[in-house]
Chain A
Amino acid sequence: MRYAETGFNLEVDLTRGNIEKVASDPRDTELYLGGLGTNAKILWDRVPPEVEPFSPENLLIFGAGLLCGTPAVGCNRTIVSTISPQTKLMAFSMMGGFFAPELKYAGFDKVILRGKSSNLVYLWINNDTVEIRDASHLKGKGSLETAEAIKKELKQPKAQVAAIGMAGENRVLYASIEQGRSSASRGGIGAVMGDKGVKAIVVRGTKDINIAQPLEYLELCNEVMEYIQFRNENPIPGVMPILAGLGSPQEMKVHDEKWHTENFMWGNSRTRRRDFWNDEVAREWMETLDQSRTRLISCYNCPMTCGATISMPGLPTYMMKCFTKLTYTMGAFSNLDFGLRIAQKATEYGLDGFSAPQVMAFALELLENGILTDKDFPDMPTDNEGRFFYLLDKIVRREGIGDILANGTYWAAREIGNGAQDYAHNNIKKIEQLPLKLSMLNPIYFLMYCTGEKINITQIEGQFPQAPYPKKEHREKFCEDWIQVPDEKFKQYFLDWEPRGENSMPFYPTVDMCCDIVDWQEKMHYIDDALGQCSGLSAFPLKPPYHIHNYPKFISAGAGIDMDEDKLSKAAKRYRTLVRAINIRRGMRRKDEKPPEDHWKKRFPELEKELLDAYYKFKGWNNEGIPTKESLYDLGLDYVSKDFVERGILTDCEDSPDKDMPDEDVLAEKEKK
């Protein structure tokens, strides 16, 4: 018997309309766990680098995490993997909600879509009965509208629906997949779903998920519950409210707009408004949120309430979480009322809340600076809010200028030319980043921005405090019950970290310490992504209930796989390296691994080079960021190194073409030409 997982994937060939239930190899579970790990293995095996994102050969994989559907608190994530049309690299966007457990109860660990349907369809999975059904009547419908309509026509109120809106149908490169209160947004995976002609995946499951050692497993879950309760009652002192507790940043619960609006950038990630917040704004925004927020809500089996039901007067109800609350508001220099209104539309259209507002602000900046002209925006309203609604509609319909903007700032800027590229300034690896511009280089964040292959800072940060505590006694206090550290040395790193003087940034934490810290933070995210655990209870917050010491026990007792900390760390390293291998095979190199040029005002090129050199080495990658043959061999990834040699990415005799790299600026300059 298979434990925690079902042992079956659902393979759907949309071109031929073929549906198969395929048993997965239990040895892959041991090596790659599940979720992201096994998704990466499938993408490596079956999607060679010649395959374009919008090719029928590209796969779109919905993978439920290994422990989804078990009693593990907050373990409910679906990891959606494909080749991103925006970055041309592997995308592994994730969504919480209720989809992953339902899929497991239906008897599947993954849904793997390949091919393309000639007409719009949806997939209906009702335990073992799976159908491809016509969705032409749902064309152009909103994502939530679609979900409601399907549940009604199937008479299945308990079915879970992951759907795209108009943005996905029209292959907007930053289209999301929406699932009620959650969405998988980054990397344009909704566009791939639209390209495949799939409007929605609908699932209902009423089967069992088995646990290998039931009593031990439940004991672990109880401990997690108790720890959550403890952390809820004991927020971490000395940090801002959204970092003090557990969960995704509690944007819906906490009125913390002051911090974000004064520290993050407005418009096209340009303008910081240090004195934005005042009593008048506070009163108005609090009223907006309190009047529209009908309930704080959760994902499956999780006590945190990171989401909310939002009902704006005169608009259909929708659900929201996290930072989208402010991205449109700040992109448009507007207020919360506008932000929540336009987010309703954007959710129905199915758009990434980070990219969309920045693309619109970018377009208006181009207009302001004469690179685009009024002719590009026929009949555009003159008021700011009106312009954003106008642009939103143009983009999701790919009408006029919207057709170019639908490709995101990086590709749009290239197409527009005439200096537009300088305005697409907030990207890493071609994808829009959090609107944040800071003064002095942070060495830990530098490495995370450079090397994070989720290409989103919130998906690699966490665990280690973001800034030093000014007072030693506070640092000591923090370390007292810091049980999550994988090694005691991390406590010392933190204890010696000062806001000023010798032990301060950017030269402290030292290069070696930074490698340790970044590796730990990233590892925890990768483990979450394979198990299906929401990072809100794990990798993201300080002092979370899940950590490297109890995770192996969860896997042993839950999935019946003999696991310890070393073995788990190695598994995480294995599929993390595989994700990199997929991207390396697609051409990603050191030159792509850099933060937006203006992310920090004060940069330290020598230190930055040293950091990246050291981190690559630490990770077992050569100077170009390519995993070496030796490290691949250690991880049992010989098939990767064989492929690399065949493709000339690595050479047979030497580990790497370890030449001196040309200066990065020269390379960047070349790129521009």
Chain B
Amino acid sequence: MTGDKIKKTIKTIRIDVDKCNGCRACEMICSAFHATPKYSSNNPARSRIRIIREPLRDLYVPVYAGEYTVAECAGRDKYTIDGKEYDECSFCRASCPSRDEFKEPDSGLPLKCDMCEGEEEPLCVKWCMHDALILEEREEEVEELEEQEDLEIGLGSLADKYGLQTIMDALSRMSKKD
């Protein structure tokens, strides 16, 4: 840690569930943008935004894919807002074992929103003509963190999956072979 303060632009999306018309254009364009090559295919099951949607109960919650989590949480609470009951999961961004949101349909690998890097604004925001999704940018002073290296991230997730001890055992076995 260096402890230095740096200025950073924070991008957030303001979500107004009352304005959502449930059309799922956000899911569609997200999946198209993230196809390779860009826009070459689309498939909402690959999108990094999902509308948690129950039309007959009038629930429409656009949610963005956030962090991957190895285990499901204990959260099974219910929220009642304006007389409508929501599951806690309806607001959660995690790609988590308890549900099939935010996972590549073929591989099961987790998905995460990247705010459509390189575009003027996230395309879901652009395609939402009802302004249920609005991009907001603000400047914040944050402490500079040292970048965690790729190797460490990789090892970390392996440790998450197999347990640290197993990884250490495997490493020592591998080093003996050399």
B138 to chain A, nearest CB (A): 27
> A208 contacts which of B24, B37, B41, B129 (Cβ < 8 Å)?
B41
Chain B residues whose C-beta falls within 8 Å of the C-beta of A69 in the assembled complex:
42
- Other-chain residue from B24, B58, B127 in contact with A295 (beta carbon distance below 8 A): B58
Of the stretches B5-13, B27-35, B161-169, the one at the interface is B27-35
A226 to chain B, nearest CB (A): 11
- Of the four ranges (under 10, 10 to 19, 20 to 34, 35 or more), the interface on chain B belongs to 20 to 34
Q: Which residue on A lies nearest to B28, using beta carbons?
A: A301
Task: Report the stretch among A8-16, A212-220, A270-278, A402-410 that lies at the interface.
Answer: A212-220
Once A157-B54, A303-B130, A317-B56 are accepted as A-B contacts, the answer to whether A298 and B42 lie under 8 Å apart by CB is no
Within 8 A of A (CB), among B99-157: 105, 127, 129-130
| Minimal Cβ-Cβ distance residue in A for B58 | A294
| B44 within 8 A of partner (CB) | yes
Binary contact track A303-321/B, C-beta < 8 Å → 1, others 0: 1010001010000111100
Tell which of B22, B54, B58, B130 has the most Cβ of chain A within 10 Å: B22
Q: Does A299 contact B (CB under 8 A)?
A: yes
A296 touches B21 (CB 8 A): yes
Q: Contacts A157-B54, A298-B23 given; indicate if A215 touches B43 (C-beta within 8 A).
A: no
Task: Tell me which residues across on chain A come within 8 A of B45, comparing CB atoms.
Answer: 105, 205-207
B contact residues around A295 at 8 Å (CB): 21-22, 58, 60
Contacts of B46 in A (CB 8 A): 208
Instruction: Name the distance in Å between A403's Cβ and chain B's nearest Cβ.
Output: 32
B21, A303: Cβ atoms under 8 Å? yes
Measured between C-beta atoms, what is the minimum distance from A299 to chain B in Å? 7
Instruction: Indicate if A385 sits at the interface (CB-CB under 8 A).
Output: no
- Least CB separation from B26: chain A residue: A301
- Measured CB to CB, the closest approach of chain A to B88, in angstroms, equals 16
A210 at interface, CB cutoff 8 A: yes
Does A451 sit at the interface, judged by CB under 8 A? no
- Closest chain B residue to A294, Cβ basis: B58
The answer to whether A144 touches B56 (Cβ under 8 A) is yes
The proximity string for A residues 75-105 relative to B, scoring 1 for CB distances below 8 Å and 0 otherwise, is: 0000000000000000000000010010001
Contacts of B129 in A (CB 8 A): 225, 228-229, 232, 303
CB-CB under 8 A for A208 and B42, given A225-B129, A301-B24: yes
- CA distance in complex: A157, B57 (Å): 13
* Interface members, chain B 52-92 (any A CB < 8 Å): 54-58, 60
Known: A71-B32, A317-B56. A209 touches B42 (CB 8 A): yes
B32 touches A218 (CB 8 A): yes
- Contacts of B32 on A, CB cut-off 8 Å? 71, 211, 214, 218
Q: Which residues of B contact A319 (CB under 8 A)?
A: 55-56
Complex formed: what's the CA distance from A487 to B96 in Å?
56
**Are the CB atoms of A209 and B39 closer together than 8 Å?**
no
CA gap between A265 and B57 in the complex, in Å: 35
Q: What B residues does A317 contact at CB under 8 A?
A: 56-58
Across-interface contacts of A215 in B (CB, < 8 A): 38-39
Q: Decide if B40 is an interface residue (CB 8 Å cutoff).
A: yes
Inter-subunit contact A303/B40 (CB<8 Å): no
Known: A296-B21, A297-B22. A309 touches B58 (CB 8 A): yes
Shortest distance between the CB of B97 and any CB in chain A (Å): 15
* Residues of B close to A180: CB separation below 8 A: 55
A148 is an interface residue with CB less than 8 A from chain B? yes
> Is A574 an interface residue, CB under 8 A from the partner?
no
List residues of chain B with CB within 8 A of the CB of A209.
41-43
**Interchain Cβ contacts within 8 Å, total number:** 96
Given A225-B129, A309-B55, A319-B55, verify A217-B39 contact (CB < 8 Å): yes
Min Cβ gap A129→B in Å is 14
Residues of A within 8 A of B25 (CB): 73, 301-303
Q: How far is the CB of B39 from chain A (nearest CB, A)?
A: 4
State whether A301 touches B23 (Cβ < 8 A).
yes
Cβ of A268 < 8 Å from any Cβ of B? no
Find out whether the CB atom of B43 lies under 8 angstroms from the CB atom of A207: yes
Q: With both chains docked as a complex, state the minimum distance between the C-beta of B111 and any C-beta of chain A, in angstroms.
A: 13
| Contact in complex: A71, B43 (CB < 8 Å) | no
A144 to chain B, nearest CB (A): 7
Chain A residues with CB under 8 A of B41:
208-211
A108 → B minimal CB distance (Å): 14
Known contacts A208-B35, A317-B56; A298 and B22 CB within 8 A of each other: yes
Q: Considering the chains assembled together, what is the distance between the CA atoms of A316 and B57 in angstroms?
A: 10
Q: Are B21 and A297 in contact (CB under 8 A)?
A: yes
CB distance from A242 to the nearest CB of B (A): 18
Chain B nearest CB, measured from A178 CB (Å): 13
Whole-angstrom distance between the alpha carbons of A309 and B59 in the complex? Answer: 11
Q: Which residues of A contact B40 (CB under 8 A)?
A: 210-211, 214
Cα-based distance from A211 to B28 in the complex (angstroms): 13
Query: A181 within 8 Å of B by Cβ?
Result: yes
Cα A215 to Cα B33 with chains together (Å): 10
Contact B105 A206 (CB under 8 A): yes
- The contact of B56 among A105, A148, A301, by CB within 8 Å, is A148
The answer to the question of A551 belonging to the interface, with a C-beta cut-off of 8 Å to chain B, is no
A303 touches B42 (CB 8 A): no
B156 → chain A closest CB, angstroms: 29
Residues of B near A148 (CB, < 8 A) are 56
Asked if A71 and B39 make an inter-chain contact with CB atoms under 8 angstroms apart, the answer reads yes
Tell me, rounded to whole Å, the shortest Cβ–Cβ distance linking B81 to chain A. Answer: 14
A388 proximal to B (CB < 8 A): no
Contact A218 B39 (CB under 8 A): yes
Counting CB contacts under 8 A, is A300 at the interface?
yes
Question: A297 is contacted by which of B29, B44, B55 (Cβ under 8 Å)?
Answer: B55
Instruction: Provide the residues of chain B in CB contact with A301, threshold 8 Å.
Output: 23-25, 28
The answer to whether the Cβ of A70 comes within 8 Å of any Cβ in the partner chain is: yes
Measured between beta carbons, the chain A residues less than 8 angstroms from B105 are: 206-207
Smallest CB separation, B108 vs chain A (Å): 11
Task: State the CA gap A71–B42 with chains docked (Å).
Answer: 8
Query: Residues of B contacting A305 with CB < 8 Å?
Result: 21, 130
In Å, the complex CA distance between A214 and B33 comes to: 10
Give residues 317-361 of A contacting B (CB, 8 Å).
Answer: 317-319
Measured CA separation A299–B23 after assembly (Å): 5
B131 to chain A, nearest CB (A): 11
Residues of chain A within 8 A of B60, CB atoms compared:
295
| Structural contact, A225 and B127, CB atoms closer than 8 A | yes
Complex Cα distance, B57 from A144, in Å, reads 12
Note all chain B residues with C-beta closer than 8 A to A218.
32, 39
Q: How far is the CB of B16 from chain A (nearest CB, A)?
A: 13
Alpha-carbon distance between A298 and B105 when the two chains are bound, in angstroms: 26
Measured in the bound complex, the distance between the Cα atoms of B29 and A98 in whole Å is: 16
Measured CA separation A215–B35 after assembly (Å): 12
Closest residue of chain B to A151 (Cβ to Cβ) is B54
Contacts of B58 in A (CB 8 A): 294-295, 309, 311, 317
B21 touches A214 (CB 8 A): no
Q: A71-B28, A71-B32, A229-B129 are in contact. Are A300 and B39 (CB under 8 A)?
A: no
What are some 27 contacts across the A-B interface (CB < 8 A)? A69-B42, A70-B42, A98-B24, A101-B44, A105-B45, A157-B54, A181-B55, A208-B42, A209-B41, A211-B42, A215-B38, A228-B129, A295-B21, A296-B21, A297-B21, A297-B22, A297-B55, A298-B21, A300-B24, A303-B21, A303-B23, A303-B25, A303-B129, A303-B130, A309-B56, A318-B56, A319-B56
Since A295-B60, A303-B23, A309-B58 are in contact, a sample of 10 more A-B pairs with Cβ atoms closer than 8 Å, ordered by chain A residue number, is: A71-B39, A101-B44, A105-B43, A206-B105, A207-B45, A211-B40, A297-B22, A300-B28, A303-B21, A309-B56
9 pairs of A and B residues whose beta carbons are closest in the complex: A206-B45, A214-B39, A206-B105, A303-B129, A298-B23, A208-B41, A298-B21, A214-B40, A208-B43
